[in-house]
Structure 1
Amino acid sequence: MLRTTVMGAGAMALPFTTWSAAYGAPAQNAPGPYGALRAADANGIQLPAGFTSRVIARSGRAVPGTSYVWHQAPDGGAVFANGTGWTYVSNSEVPAASGGGASKIDFNADGTVRAAGRILGGTSTNCAGGRTPWNTWLSCEEIDLGRVWETYPLTGAAAQVRPAMGRFKHEAAAADDGRRVIYLTEDQPDGRFYRFLPYRWGDLSAGALQVLVAGSGTSGSFTWQAVPDPDGSPTPTRRQVAGAKVFNGGEGCHYANGTVWFTTKGDNRVWQLDVVNQRFELAYDDNLVNPGPAPLTGVDNITGGPGGELFVAEDGGTMEICVITPDDKVYAFLRVTGQSASELTGPAFTPAGDRLYFSSQRGTSGSSSGGITYCVTGPFRR
């Protein structure tokens, strides 16, 4: 039993009560504390009582209140406090020729839009990523020999490529401020799980890339071993270290208080790594839910909630964002209707923990040009 909570120093400092419960994986189906989902609202979203949704932006259209045209296929996202409100950043999971990269929307303290703009361009298939403690956004390319780009949504500085973090089919990143490392997932059926150790914390231009080494089971101990050639050519990084543990389609990644959670879409699992004691186990497996049916399938992007829970977005499934609680329960928090050809992406909370941003990557059209970005407001648990 790993005693921890989901929000921590490595994430935004949200006002919440620390839960003393433990994640005794894997989580099981149970009613949620927010109650049943209501009928779909005007935006086609089913929410618990007390919550409301609104559309923030649509692909191919100007963000309301600005002249900036929102990008296609919105994917991974994060929120940054900006001094007078907050900024939501979002990747674009399309090739460079179609406008891949990342954008941002700046909000005032009352939640109204102040500005929007591009923070990264000329890159390809930017899927997920992660925020750093120094307020940059790591935008990850999900292509063979893909790269990590460090962007600067608050300062407007030019984005910088970070090849030392490895060239592979990147998905998500999560910063561990205590150990001064960045954890990285790889979206391949035989993907691996990595960590990057910068030579100087706050500077990702140079450092050591390591891969997790462990047995083939679903729990046990692990170690880290250096990847000899982070450039990944001619031998892919995932095939350079004997004994590196295989993970089936690494997706979202989240760190807090000595624990890393990440999802693997190929087998619908959420993994939990105790990086203090170097132990791993399952936090969720849709094949181990009893009684069924499993409420969470197509696991993808993941973030920590203000009450210590994990919020996991579905790629497919029933188009839900589900919650895994510290006492090992899993339930649907919201469901998007009429968009079965899409996926939910980029969940992220505001600093106060009262707003959740996320996107439907292909919206009602089922096309990358039909993406919709939403905000849900309400009494989130703290």
Structure 2
Amino acid sequence: MLRRTFVRTGGLAAGTAFTGSLWQGAARATAPRRDDLPALSGPYGPLGVPDANGIALPWGFSSRIVARTGHRVGGVLWHPAPDGGGCFPDGEGWIYVSNSEIPLLGGATAIRFGRDAAVRGAYRILSGTNLNCAGGVTPWNTWLSCEEISRGRVFECDPYGVRAAMPRLAMGRFKHEAAACDPVRQVVYMTEDERDGCFYRFVPAHWGDLTTGRLEVLCTSPDAGVDDGAVIWRRVPNPAALLEAARHQVDTARRFNGGEGCHYSDGVCFFTSKGDNRVWAYDAENERLEVVYDAGAPLNGVDNITGTPLGDLYVAEDGGNMELNLITPDRTVTPFLRLEGHSRSEITGPAFSPDGSHLYFSSQRGPRGDAAGTDGVTYEVTGPFRR
């Protein structure tokens, strides 16, 4: 099913909104039996009652805790304020990488899982950076970790822990949020978390090498008709300027109120803007931009975003009622999970294992909700995911 069909139809049919210990020593918490649940809504049905980890899931799904801030996992202390995350293949297992959104000591940590999903080890892949928020996975299996500060940088990291992380300064110095790679057009899309932020793409001089290239910003096309969504790209003259922000260098740049998550698949780059609670879709083949979600419920506080090859999008909430919501290709919007007892936190880092069987995400500030993120919790969900 083509994502472009999803983008061009416009509008969304909203689905109904329904209102531990470390994993090594805990039994997996399981959702209730289907017989106990009301009528189905969305591809997985309604949410059940919260499990032992406080997660309300559809029938057949279960959760476990894989890491807690300040506790050891795989030999290292899990970092505060876990944020953006991504998964990578690793033989018969996989690796989950998580950023740390704290000042000065941010960075990123990787957890290695075996084929049975048991933790085989963990290690730091980036240290000494500042407010590492979201990021993105490259086709050559590196992790782009983004600093969410003024004149922030993008660091390219090795999730396998062999090579040192490197700053990619040609990708611009601004309040980076997330990144997503388009292997067809050989560009990297990026969001900016500012009230008047922009949507960028980086065109490397050589695909697979992000050392040099040009930074471009999305602009309204001068030939655009009323509401036809036509856009063009213009070069940012000085991406690393000290005195003039990148977003102010091109007068015709489109503005987005608080750019957040970013996900590319099948010719479309989806991204979110938290200031107006929207999910956008950029049709790269036809250079068109459209809003695909613009409502207050069931999805509220749009933030990180990921997707599946089938075309499902999973959008995390920053606050709201702490849900990870599903947007299907037929434009149904429905909660996939809800995290109870974490009202002062946000859901971050959703990412699927390479085979689509395991979903990871975090509660950045945990049940205590402290601003320093010292109570962060990272979870795993398994079940009959559509693949």
TM-score (norm 1): 0.91
Q: Does 1:317 align with 2:320?
A: yes
Q: Specify which of 354, 358, 367 is matched with residue 357 of structure 2.
A: 354
Q: Does 1:378 align with 2:387?
A: no
Q: Specify which of 13, 21, 32 is matched with residue 28 of structure 1.
A: 13
The residue number in structure 1 matching 2:3 is 5
Q: Does 1:263 align with 2:272?
A: yes
Which aligned pairs between 1:214-293 and structure 2 lie closer than 5 A? 214=220, 220-286=229-295
The residue number in structure 2 matching 1:72 is 80
Which aligned pairs between 1:1-382 and structure 2 lie closer than 5 A? 4-5=2-3, 24-30=9-15, 31-63=41-73, 66-96=74-104, 99-214=105-220, 220-286=229-295, 294-367=297-370, 368-382=373-387
Q: CA deviation at 1:5?
A: 3.4
Question: Identity of paired residues, percent?
Answer: 57
1:339-376 Cα shifts (integer Å, max 9, x gaps): 00000000001111111000000111102000000000
SS at 2:247's partner residue? helix
Q: Distance in 2 between matches of 1:316 and 1:349?
A: 22
Amino acid at match of 1:282: V
Amino acid at match of 1:327: D
Give the number of the structure with larger relative contact order, counting CA–CA contacts within 8 Å between residues 6 or more apart.
1
Q: Distance in 1 between matches of 2:241 and 2:164?
A: 26
Whether contact under 8 Å (2:123, 2:161) holds in the other structure is: no
Amino acid at match of 1:380: F
Whether contact under 8 Å (1:218, 1:282) holds in the other structure is: no
The residue number in structure 2 matching 1:9 is none
Whether contact under 8 Å (1:189, 1:266) holds in the other structure is: yes
- CA change 1:243–1:45 in 2 (3 A) is same
Amino acid at match of 2:44: Y
Instruction: Point out 4+ residue stretches in structure 1 off by more than 4 angstroms.
Output: 20-23, 215-219
Amino acid at match of 1:187: D
- CA change 1:297–1:35 in 2 (3 A) is same
Amino acid at match of 1:344: I
Q: Distance in 2 between matches of 1:122 and 1:321?
A: 30
- CA change 1:139–1:244 in 2 (3 A) is same
Q: Distance in 2 between matches of 1:24 and 1:327?
A: 9
The residue number in structure 1 matching 2:25 is none
Amino acid at match of 2:168: R
Whether contact under 8 Å (2:350, 2:362) holds in the other structure is: yes
Amino acid at match of 1:27: L
Aligned positions, number: 357
Gapped regions of structure 1 (runs ≥ 5): 7-19, 288-293
- CA change 1:260–1:22 in 2 (3 A) is closer
1:320-353 Cα shifts (integer Å, max 9, x gaps): 0001111111000000000000000000011111
Amino acid at match of 2:80: Q
Amino acid at match of 1:302: I
Q: Distance in 2 between matches of 1:134 and 1:302?
A: 21
Q: CA deviation at 1:155?
A: 4.7
Gapped regions of structure 2 (runs ≥ 5): 16-40
* Root-mean-square deviation (Å): 1.5
Whether contact under 8 Å (2:47, 2:56) holds in the other structure is: yes
SS at 2:304's partner residue? strand
Amino acid at match of 2:100: S
